[in-house]
Amino acid sequence: MTNSFKRALLSGIAATALSAAMMSGANATDGMMSNGYGTAAKGMAGAGSAMALDTQAAINNPAGMARIGNRFDAGVSLFSPRRDTTIETAGGATFFGTAGKTKSAEEKFYVPTAGVNFDMGTYALGLTLTANGGMNTEYHANMYNGGTNGKTGVDLGQVMLGVTYSRNLTDKTSIGITPTLAGARFMARGLQPFANFSAHSNHLTDNGYDHSYGAGIRAGILHDVTDQITLGAAYQSKMYMTPFTKYKGLFADGGDMDMPAVLTLGAAYKATDDLNIALDFKEIYYGDIRSISNTNNYSIGAGGRTLGTKTGAGFGWDNMKVIKLGASYDVNPDLTVRAGGSWNSAAFSDVENIFNILAPAVPRYHASVGGTYKIGNHEVGAAVTRAFSETLSGDSNVNHPGNTLDLRMDQWDVNVGYSYNF
């Protein structure tokens, strides 16, 4: 492999990273995170942390990079979330400005990924770009009484770029570590009614896009228990981010919005020469991020919940537990087909629904199918994921229990990918 080819690969990833960072953020089915990384894992509903699949192993389990050889991957997802809010005001006065059903307008987001891995003999080095996820709503209505611009919503996008060092300690055990740089952008509109509840009302809403930067680390291990069973474990630290200063009157602790830590435990079983089964358990620690986990519980601004302070109202999210089960089958040496399903615990309860109009992350069940086809050293693949419709219903205001608020979302994710083994 020539140095010019290496430079071309790295330049391609850098260009893709720039485009990803400039894109609107929405690639989220496990709360605000993607339910899968890489075309192969997406075809199994995100399972595969105990399998070495492609360069998105840097996210799934960095130890897998020691087992994939010299490889380049690029892919893009068309992510389509459909979300709507229904407000019934039969109980009298309400904080909300738009009764009835209101749909969020934007339903198409293109999310790129890319990665390259170099087998250096006793170790491997990789570079991987990942769109981590985000959240997006765009209601063409004043969802809260007093909104002035005719639109309400938020747009959060997150991207991570990691460098992976991995190696095989023995013929059965591999390890990997990925120092990671992270970037994010955010904007909010239509939140003027919360100004009286904010410590910094001029930094609450309608300030355009703000950007945040930070870093963290991921690490993982793979161990072949037998020729048929492989176990894996991976941990992503919190990504420590600079605050969104333009929105220090919205997010708790002066605009702080770190990316949460993630723990993944996985197992892979080679049932036959052609059939592999993968099972993953993941916990996403949303509860450690104040701006995400602080309760609003109908009472934003009350009881020390002034927006922008450490105890300021947030989205009321809990740690999320996720179970993923997937399978891959080699139809022949060139064609592999995949399928899987996943379940996640609820991000928040119905008493936290006021702020979650902006982030109605309610889907809990997902199903995926996919496959890849090899053509010499090249490989093309696709995966389709369906997040089934889910609705969370609750009272819209504790003082007016007759008023109800329903948050609903379903999603499609169509991914296509290309790989080159060199």
Beta strands in 90-228 (DSSP E): 100-103, 109-119, 124-139, 152-168, 173-189, 210-224
What is the value of pTM for the model shown? 0.92
- In angstroms, the CA 342 to CA 45 distance is 6
Please state, in angstroms and rounded to a whole number, the distance separating the CA atoms of residues 174 and 28: 29
Beta strands 320-330 and 109-119: pairing type?
unpaired
**How far is it, in rounded angstroms, from Cα 214 to Cα 257?**
10
* Nearest C-alpha neighbor of 136 from the set 361, 391, 385, 352: 361
100 by Cβ neighbours in 10 Å (0-12 / 13-18 / 19+) ranks as exposed
Write out the chain's pLDDT in tens, 422 residues: 565 555 555 555 555 554 554 454 455 589 999 999 999 999 999 999 999 999 999 999 999 999 999 999 999 999 999 999 988 776 555 567 677 899 999 889 999 999 999 999 999 999 999 988 788 999 998 888 765 567 899 999 999 999 999 999 999 999 999 999 999 999 999 999 889 889 999 999 999 999 999 999 999 999 999 999 999 999 999 999 999 999 999 999 999 999 999 999 999 999 999 999 999 999 999 999 999 999 886 566 555 679 999 999 899 999 999 999 999 999 999 999 999 999 999 999 988 888 899 999 999 999 999 999 999 999 999 999 999 999 998 876 655 566 788 999 999 999 999 999 99
Distance from the first to the final alpha carbon of the chain: 7
Structure tokens at 250: 């919205």
Each residue's pLDDT tens digit, 282-323 = 999 999 999 999 988 656 655 567 999 999 989 999 999 999
> CB neighbours (10 Å) of residue 62?
30
- Residue 22: the pLDDT is 47
Domain boundaries along the sequence of the chain: 3-421
Alpha-carbon distances, residue 13 vs 77, 159, 161, 414 (angstroms): 16, 13, 10, 21
Homologous superfamily of domain range 3-421? Outer membrane protein transport protein (OMPP1/FadL/TodX) (2.40.160.60)
